[in-house]
């Protein structure tokens, strides 16, 4: 019997609020982001979740989200592995820039391509394809074995690192994944089959 994989994008960060490209920069959560993370924990508690292990990135907005979720579940001491493989997409030269300022500098169309194409990276940064090239092997090697042993696994990470994972789990094309958004603080619950394919998916919105 295989287990359960729960993905949660971190709550709203200070730079999300300011409309800045964040990438590997390390701002904290806003008060709203804190509340979103706690809300995710409460939703999972209502479902009776108890996790066996958690994974997060090396960036504090994901780590704090992970910690707040586990606090709501009464699991503050749970083993948590942190790895930069789960970091947000590196936005390179765009990191720290206001998105409106970036459009003024490079043009609306070019910035849109960098943000929404699958395989065109911004200057000095990563595309979604590049992000997946580090997320997916880490998932296969380190996270998936826990799920296939029947454990319940929490992954608190970022919009693009999670999108690159969802792309493969859901069998989405490059065109489909670039249109997909993952909301902050909303748990996505996967049940896996013994052969690692997805048995079911549920998004705990509202």
Provide the edge-to-edge strand list for the sheet that holds 188-192.
Answer: 80-82, 53-56, 152-157, 4-9, 188-192, 198-203
What pLDDT is recorded for position 116? Answer: 86
10 flagged as catalytic: yes
Q: What is the pLDDT of residue 1?
A: 58
Catalytic residue among 31, 72, 79, 88: 88
Top CATH class of 4-203 equals alpha beta
* Residue 117: both structure tokens together: 């194409």
Q: Is 8 in a helix, a strand, or coil?
A: strand
Identify the sign of the CA torsion 67, 69, 75, 79: negative
Active site residue 31: no
What is the per-residue pLDDT across 122-160, written as a single tens digit (0 to 9) for each? 999 999 999 999 999 999 999 999 999 999 999 999 999
Tens of pLDDT along 74-96?
A: 999 999 999 999 999 999 999 99
Decide if pLDDT at 206 tops 90.
no
Query: What span, in angstroms and rounded, lies between the C-alpha atoms of 161 and 139?
Result: 11
User: Domain segments of the chain: what residues?
Assistant: 4-203
Q: What is the pLDDT of residues 33-71, one digit of tens each?
A: 999 999 999 999 999 999 999 999 999 999 999 999 999
Q: Give the up-direction half-sphere exposure of residue 114: CA atoms within 13 A in the CB hemisphere.
A: 24
The answer to whether residue 2 scores a pLDDT higher than 80 is no
Burial of 31 (0-12, 13-18, 19+ CB in 10 A): exposed
Tokens of 152: 């319940």
Please answer whether residues 157 and 11 qualify as being in contact, where contact means their C-beta atoms are separated by less than 8 angstroms.
no
The Cα–Cα gap between 126 and 146 comes to 28
């Amino acid at each position: 019997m295989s287990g359960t994989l729960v993905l949660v994008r971190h709550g709203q960060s200070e730079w999300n609020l300011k409309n800045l490209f964040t990438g590997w920069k390390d701002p904290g959560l806003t008060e709203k982001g804190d509340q979103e993370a706690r809300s995710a924990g409460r939703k999972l508690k209502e479902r009776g979740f108890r996790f066996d292990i958690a994974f997060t990135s090396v960036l504090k907005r994901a780590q704090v989200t992970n910690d707040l979720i586990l606090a709501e579940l009464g699991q503050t001491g749970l083993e948590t592995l942190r790895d930069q493989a789960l970091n947000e997409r590196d936005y390179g030269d765009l990191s720290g820039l206001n998105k409106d300022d970036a459009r003024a500098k490079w043009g609306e169309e070019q910035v849109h391509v960098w943000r929404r194409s699958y395989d065109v990276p911004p200057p000095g940064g990563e595309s979604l394809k590049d992000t997946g090239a580090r997320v997916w092997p880490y998932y296969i090697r380190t996270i998936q074995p826990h799920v296939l042993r029947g454990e319940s696994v929490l992954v608190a990470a970022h919009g693009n690192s999670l999108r690159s994972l969802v792309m493969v789990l859901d069998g989405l094309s490059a065109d489909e994944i670039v249109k997909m958004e993952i909301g902050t603080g909303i748990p996505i619950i996967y049940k896996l089959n013994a052969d690692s394919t997805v048995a079911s998916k549920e998004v705990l919105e509202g």
